[in-house]
């Protein structure tokens, strides 16, 4: 058991904890949350024995083995697989002792060493290390490559695998989902749920926390408060406390109003029924969590696009790739102002390639890509921060694109992204990754795009900024396409999903839970293909499992026909309503005109109801 009693810690003259008291029982999985600089890393240092408290005590069993992921990986020639095996220190120690005992022919020692080697799973260690790497996205061939051959993000995955390889009693993870895609995150969730030891973890991914932890320690105002339950339960409990304050209540109502505005506008239109239902579900959750973020320094809105033509971008039978290497074949995609699309698919399947082709950064290999002359693209790439001018301040970089906008307006806008005080005028070369990501996002938001393409926009963003981004995207007016490992963002902001796999991009009719199951089946098929049973021939590469539903062409035609009919009838309905809104029509001399208009209105209403019913039937058929 970890026992914390009356803990007091100060760093650089600032008090981080004051009289903190709580316990962590063996086997607990704990999420450690709090604002940047609140003392989360300091708590990790205390648990590792690297720091001594100013007062009070923190005690944990001395015999426990602690595993903690390092933040940097050296550029080694050693293979990724061997590097991961180094995570089991006792295994490596026994291997060295065995080699020495064999050289010196110390047979009694050999017997004892081999017994211990078997006890710690030495004979299966290599296969366990290979499974860890495979789960994090490494092929068999890549596992044999040197660590130095991988980029920084992939080295961090190797480092995570090495940490998981350690047979630890206490596992400390600081942002383990950074540099992971959705399929690797889902695998890691399963692994951590099965982990038998005690876990303390910092993460900005609320869905990941929800899936793994059963307790939350929240660091705030020099105190550490224990909450029982997952992250959503913590938000609800904290929200209940903060909602008692009038300021919290008012801000909550503001957040809810933004979502309600969308729902009220589109609830009555069958063509928007699905989007409205999505927003209603999001509203229910936002109502619960908004007060928990009342003290956040981030709150921004996307500026309304100047124009919203339809379609904004269209791709017909497009092949995507690089030079002679084709990645995706015959992609068909139409982005309209109502598009809210999430891209799903295993790592390396071509999601980023597709986005780059939609943007025009990559030229299509074949097919046709058309774009309205009024289309204005906002593109947040995975490495968007690399395009910032590191010598310039946030205010200077915004001024360069803001034209004649007054400085007070620019300062207020940047303040909504957390840039205030000295930071707004400071060169961003010394900014954290999160600050750079916020600035890159702010510059995109300012330009009022009507097409927004976001490729992993939440990398480096903390929970407060992720919440603010989600709220802002809820009311964004324009086409939205997202690639993200942040499931909360995808659930809240996307109405449709496109599955990118095996060289194709096809509609995915299920939700993210369906995708998680699809991914497990796909991974199992891949493992079976790569590791056949003894005596069997190696099977060919796996075919992706069927998605929850295939698009029915007849239903699609019926859907398009119904949409066209509804648009026509809605126009007639609006014209009749405008005539009936004229008070003169109700005067006695115009009684016959009134009767005629009422009859026409009733007929149009009936036709529209029938068309909407046909649209709903066709939608259900397409969804399977």
- Ramachandran class of 418: left when φ > 0, alpha when ψ lies in -120 to 50, beta otherwise: left
**Digit-coded pLDDT (tens) for 531-558:** 654 444 444 444 455 555 444 556 666 7
For 16, the enclosing helix (H) or strand (E) is strand 14-24
Rounded distance, CA 201 to CA 292, Å?
20
Mean pLDDT for 207-223 is 90
Q: What are phi and psi of 361, to 5 degrees?
A: -65, -35
Q: What is the DSSP letter of 11?
A: E
pLDDT at 513: 85
Q: What are phi and psi of 350, to 5 degrees?
A: 125, 15
Using pLDDT thresholds of 50, 70 and 90, give the confidence band for residue 568.
confident
CA-closest candidate to residue 581, choices 597, 604, 569: 597
Mean pLDDT for 462-470 is 80
Using pLDDT thresholds of 50, 70 and 90, give the confidence band for residue 622.
low
Label residues 464-491 b or e (16+ Cβ within 10 Å = b): bbbbbbbbbbbebebbbbbbbbbbbbbb
Rounded distance, CA 301 to CA 269, Å?
25
Rounded distance, CA 453 to CA 342, Å?
10
Rounded distance, CA 564 to CA 555, Å?
14
Q: What mean pLDDT is reported for the chain? A: 82
Residue with tokens 């002792």: 97
Predicted confidence (pLDDT) at residue 367 exceeds the cutoff of 90: yes
Highest-confidence segment of 255-269, 348-362, 548-562, 599-613: 348-362
For 504-538, give the secondary structure using H, E and C.
EEEEECCCHHHHHHHHHHHHHHHHHHHCCCCCCCC
621 HSE (CA, 13 A, CB side): 14
CA-closest candidate to residue 453, choices 332, 569, 360, 546: 360
Q: What are phi and psi of 551, to 5 degrees?
A: -70, 125
Six-digit token string for 597: 């208009």
**Distance between the two ends of the chain, CA-based, in angstroms?**
51
**Digit-coded pLDDT (tens) for 14-54:** 888 888 899 999 999 999 988 777 788 889 889 988 888 88
550 C-beta neighbours (distance < 10 Å), count? 12
CA-closest candidate to residue 615, choices 572, 570, 569, 565: 565
Q: For 6-10, 363-367, 601-605, which range has the lowest pLDDT when averaged over its residues?
A: 601-605
Rounded distance, CA 354 to CA 589, Å?
64
Using pLDDT thresholds of 50, 70 and 90, give the confidence band for residue 112.
confident
Predicted confidence (pLDDT) at residue 107 exceeds the cutoff of 80: no
Q: What is the pTM of this model?
A: 0.64
Q: For 31-40, 115-124, 292-301, 346-355, which range has the lowest pLDDT when averaged over its residues?
A: 292-301
List CB contacts of 301: < 8 A, sequence separation 6 or more.
Answer: 258, 472, 475
Predicted confidence (pLDDT) at residue 623 exceeds the cutoff of 60: no
Mean pLDDT for 375-404 is 87
Predicted confidence (pLDDT) at residue 529 exceeds the cutoff of 90: no
pLDDT at 534: 46
Mean pLDDT for 87-97 is 90
Q: How many residues does the chain have?
A: 624
CA-closest candidate to residue 35, choices 197, 219, 174, 172: 219
Question: What Cα–Cα distance (Å) separates residue 400 from each residue in 256, 387, 506, 562?
Answer: 34, 14, 40, 47
Rounded distance, CA 277 to CA 25, Å?
42
CA-CA-CA-CA torsion for 426, 296, 258, 303, nearest 10 degrees? 0
Mean pLDDT for 396-419 is 89
572 C-beta neighbours (distance < 10 Å), count? 16
Do 178 and 461 touch, CB atoms closer than 8 A? no
CA-CA-CA-CA torsion for 399, 403, 406, 408, nearest 10 degrees? -30
Q: What angle do CA 76, 82, 88 make, to 5 degrees?
A: 115
List CB contacts of 483: < 8 A, sequence separation 6 or more.
Answer: 342, 343, 351, 352, 355, 454, 455, 456
Predicted confidence (pLDDT) at residue 592 exceeds the cutoff of 50: yes
Rounded distance, CA 204 to CA 544, Å?
31
Burial zone of 362 (CB within 10 Å; 0-12 exposed, 13-18 middle, 19+ buried): middle
Mean pLDDT for 404-414 is 90
pLDDT at 619: 64
Mean pLDDT for 81-92 is 91
Do 7 and 58 touch, CB atoms closer than 8 A? yes
Label residues 32-44 b or e (16+ Cβ within 10 Å = b): bbbbeebbbbbbb
Mean pLDDT for 569-598 is 78
For 480, the enclosing helix (H) or strand (E) is strand 479-483
Q: Which residue has the higher pLDDT, 551 or 186?
A: 186
pLDDT at 275: 52
* % of the chain at pLDDT higher than 90: 28
- Ramachandran class of 172: left when φ > 0, alpha when ψ lies in -120 to 50, beta otherwise: beta
Q: For 219-228, 407-416, 585-594, 614-623, which range has the lowest pLDDT when averaged over its residues?
A: 614-623
Highest-confidence segment of 82-91, 251-260, 594-603: 82-91
Q: For 226-235, 265-274, 376-385, 409-418, which range has the lowest pLDDT when averaged over its residues?
A: 265-274
CA-closest candidate to residue 414, choices 401, 255, 492: 401
Rounded distance, CA 219 to CA 16, Å?
9
Q: Which residue has the higher pLDDT, 211 or 616?
A: 211
- Ramachandran class of 344: left when φ > 0, alpha when ψ lies in -120 to 50, beta otherwise: beta
Using pLDDT thresholds of 50, 70 and 90, give the confidence band for residue 145.
very high
- Ramachandran class of 167: left when φ > 0, alpha when ψ lies in -120 to 50, beta otherwise: beta
Mean pLDDT for 165-185 is 89
């Amino acid at each position: 058991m970890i026992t914390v009693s009356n803990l007091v810690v100060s760093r650089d003259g600032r008090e981080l904890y004051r009289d903190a008291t709580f316990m962590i029982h063996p086997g607990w999985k704990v999420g450690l949350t709090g604002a940047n600089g609140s003392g989360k890393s300091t708590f990790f240092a205390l648990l590792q024995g690297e720091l001594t408290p100013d007062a009070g005590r923190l005690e944990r069993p001395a015999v426990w083995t602690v595993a903690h992921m390092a933040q940097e990986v050296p550029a080694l020639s050693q293979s990724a697989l061997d590097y991961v095996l180094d995570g089991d220190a006792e295994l490596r120690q026994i291997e060295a002792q065995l080699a020495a005992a064999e050289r010196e022919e110390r047979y009694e020692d050999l017997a004892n060493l081999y017994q211990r080697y078997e006890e710690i799973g030495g004979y299966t260690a290599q296969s366990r290390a290979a499974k860890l790497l495979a789960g994090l996205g490494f092929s068999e061939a890549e596992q044999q490559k040197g660590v130095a051959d991988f980029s920084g993000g992939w080295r961090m995955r190797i480092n995570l695998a090495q940490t998981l390889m350690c047979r630890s009693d206490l596992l400390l993870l600081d942002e383990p989902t950074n540099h992971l895609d959705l399929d690797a995150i889902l695998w890691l969730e399963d692994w951590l749920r099965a982990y038998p030891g005690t876990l303390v973890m910092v993460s900005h991914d609320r869905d990941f926390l929800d899936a793994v932890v059963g307790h939350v320690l929240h660091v705030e105002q020099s105190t550490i408060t224990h909450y029982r339950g997952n992250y959503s339960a913590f938000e609800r409990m904290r929200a209940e406390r903060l909602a008692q304050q009038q300021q919290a209540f008012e801000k909550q109502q503001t957040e809810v109003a933004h979502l309600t505005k969308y729902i009220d506008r589109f609830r009555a239109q069958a063509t928007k029924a699905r989007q409205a239902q999505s927003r209603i579900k999001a509203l229910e959750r936002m109502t619960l969590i908004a007060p928990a973020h009342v003290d956040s320094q981030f709150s921004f809105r996307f500026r309304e696009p100047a124009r919203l033509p339809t379609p904004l971008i269209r791709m017909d039978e497009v092949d995507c790739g690089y030079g002679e290497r084709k990645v995706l074949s015959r992609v068909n995609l139409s982005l309209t102002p109502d598009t809210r699309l999430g891209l799903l698919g295993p790592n390396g399947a071509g999601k980023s390639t597709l986005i780059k082709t939609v943007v025009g950064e990559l030229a299509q290999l074949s097919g046709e890509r058309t774009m309205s002359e009024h289309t204005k693209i906002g593109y947040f790439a995975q490495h968007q921060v690399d395009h910032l001018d590191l010598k310039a301040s946030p205010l200077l970089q915004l001024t360069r694109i803001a034209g004649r906008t007054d400085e007070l307006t620019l300062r207020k806008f940047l303040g909504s992204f957390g840039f205030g005080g000295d930071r707004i005028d400071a060169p961003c070369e010394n900014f954290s990754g999160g600050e750079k990501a916020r600035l890159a996002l702010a510059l995109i938001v300012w330009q009022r795009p009507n097409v927004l393409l976001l490729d992993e926009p939440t990398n480096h963003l903390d929970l407060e900024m992720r919440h603010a981004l989600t709220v802002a995207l809820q009311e964004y007016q324009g086409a939205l396409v997202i690639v993200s490992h942040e499931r909360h963002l995808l659930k809240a902001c996307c109405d449709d999903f496109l599955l990118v796999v095996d060289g194709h991009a096809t509609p995915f009719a299920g939700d993210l839970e369906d995708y998680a199951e699809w991914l497990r089946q796909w991974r199992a098929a891949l493992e079976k293909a790569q590791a056949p049973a003894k005596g069997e021939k190696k099977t060919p590469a796996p075919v992706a499992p069927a998605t929850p539903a295939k698009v029915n062409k007849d239903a699609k035609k019926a859907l398009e026909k119904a949409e066209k009919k509804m648009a026509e009838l809605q126009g007639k309905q609006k014209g009749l309503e405008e005539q009936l809104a004229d008070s003169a029509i109700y005067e006695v001399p115009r009684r016959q005109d009134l009767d005629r208009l009422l009859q026409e209105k009733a007929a149009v209403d009936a036709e529209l109801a029938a068309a909407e019913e046909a649209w709903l039937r066709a939608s259900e058929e397409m969804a399977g």
